[in-house]
Structure 1
Amino acid sequence: MSQIDLRKPTTDLHQSFMQSTAEWNGEEQDGASMFFADKYGWDLADHTDFERWVKLLNDLAKPEFTPAPGFVSQSTLWVVENGKYLGAVSLRHDLGTGYLAEVGGHIGYGIRPSARRRGLAKLALAGSLEQARSLGLPKVLITCNDSNIGSARTIESCGGVLESIKPQSEVGPIFGSPEDVRRYWITLD
């Protein structure tokens, strides 16, 4: 029987995470916060660097931890099925940077290509919304590319209300977005 969980990042899933990375064909895994590894020059294929990255992801959720300048505190959960990494969701605790307030939003998530169309993105987003409620956030901003119909449907199924669609001409030159960006808000009760 299949067991799907949301759990904190762990080094136990190194091999499975790297298999997922290969499925993304060189694209960054949405929600996985791999940009931190890039920032520190860590090679996630190296077990020691992977341990450093996992520790940082878990530290970023701690109230006493101070993120590097330009970054915000965040909580990361991994979607895991029977010991296999399937995806990630990250909840930024605030929108402290211009990028997050315009394009990134509070929550980013991604499911590895071989595990899509199973409702896992909705599971991940719902889990992250529970975290946001526990942090006392009154509402969260979630964005997706305008062409990403699956993500738009996931956000809407979790209560997302479309605020606007930012044209690529506004967000692209500043944030490097390749297309228009849909901005949704979810009010938390």
Structure 2
Amino acid sequence: MTHAKLTQPSAGFHASWLESFQEWGTLDQDGSAAFLAARYDLDLREASHFAQWVDLLHQMAVASFRPPEGLANQTTLWITEGTDYLGAASLRHSLLNEYLKEVGGHIGYGIRPSARGKGLAKLALAGALEEARGMGLKRVMVTCKQPNVASARTIEACGGELEGVRPPESFSPELGVTEPIRRYWFHL
């Protein structure tokens, strides 16, 4: 039984986050909002840049904060156990652009490869849904790629209702969708 919990991002998890980065092999870690670092020219391998990124994640959750053009305010939650970073969930406060409306949805989440298969994705999604309820959102969309059976099971286990599966050709080419997308809605 894991003792993992949802926490606020913290610079204290830098070493463990770097281990997760190595496991993923990419900065593009689902739910982590690591893409923001590139927007601000931050190298997350450097402790001071990592701390700036963590501060930015906290700012992104504040309604009065204006994120970079094309990005929505979001709340980021980390899944941790002791000093270990295990994954993240991001709740976008609105679907302000075509990508989020069609493909990205309100919530993204990801678990580092070595921590998968332990129910942590369900913890992440349930926590993000609770945050959405607390913000007063009435409906939220969560998506996953058709081949991602584990994610589809997680979404369905948390009560997501399948709107449908959309083929890549049903999306605008500029969205870069290459696989069918399962779109789910949660009524909060």
TM bucket by the smaller chain? over 0.9
Asked if 2 retains the 8 angstrom alpha-carbon contact of 1:87 and 1:111, the reply is yes
**TM-score normalised by L of structure 1:** 0.96
Aligned to 2:124: 124
**TM-score normalised by L of structure 2:** 0.96
Q: Matches of 1:87 and 1:47 in 2, distance apart?
A: 19
Structure 1 residue 147 displacement after superposition: 0.3
Report the aligned-residue RMSD: 1.3
Q: Matches of 1:172 and 1:42 in 2, distance apart?
A: 31
Aligned to 1:145: 145
Aligned to 1:174: 174
Task: Specify the code of the residue in structure 2 equivalent to 1:149.
Answer: V
Q: Matches of 1:172 and 1:29 in 2, distance apart?
A: 24
- Secondary structure of the structure 2 residue equivalent to 1:86: strand
Q: Matches of 1:186 and 1:118 in 2, distance apart?
A: 23
Structure 1 residue 159 displacement after superposition: 0.7
Aligned to 2:10: 10
Aligned to 1:185: 185
Over 3 Å counting, the alpha-carbon distance change for 1:179 and 1:127 in structure 2 is same
| Deviation readout 1:34-90 (Å, 9 max, x if unpaired) | 110111221100111111111110111112212122111100000001210000000
- Secondary structure of the structure 2 residue equivalent to 1:87: strand
- Secondary structure of the structure 2 residue equivalent to 1:67: coil
| Deviation readout 1:127-160 (Å, 9 max, x if unpaired) | 0100000000001000000000000000001110
Asked if 1 retains the 8 angstrom alpha-carbon contact of 2:27 and 2:34, the reply is no
Asked if 2 retains the 8 angstrom alpha-carbon contact of 1:172 and 1:178, the reply is no
Asked if 1 retains the 8 angstrom alpha-carbon contact of 2:29 and 2:110, the reply is yes
1:18-29 maps to which residues of 2 (within 5 A)? 18-26=18-26, 28-29=28-29
Task: Specify the code of the residue in structure 2 equivalent to 1:26.
Answer: T
Asked if 1 retains the 8 angstrom alpha-carbon contact of 2:139 and 2:185, the reply is yes
- Secondary structure of the structure 2 residue equivalent to 1:144: strand
| Deviation readout 1:1-52 (Å, 9 max, x if unpaired) | 8531101100000010010010012261100011101112211001111111
1:3-152 maps to which residues of 2 (within 5 A)? 3-26=3-26, 28-152=28-152
Q: Matches of 1:132 and 1:61 in 2, distance apart?
A: 12
- Secondary structure of the structure 2 residue equivalent to 1:183: strand
Q: Matches of 2:186 and 2:59 in 1, distance apart?
A: 26
Q: Matches of 2:172 and 2:27 in 1, distance apart?
A: 18
Asked if 2 retains the 8 angstrom alpha-carbon contact of 1:2 and 1:82, the reply is no
Identity %: 51
- Secondary structure of the structure 2 residue equivalent to 1:55: helix
Over 3 Å counting, the alpha-carbon distance change for 1:27 and 1:9 in structure 2 is closer
Structure 1 residue 173 displacement after superposition: 2.1
Q: Matches of 1:52 and 1:167 in 2, distance apart?
A: 39
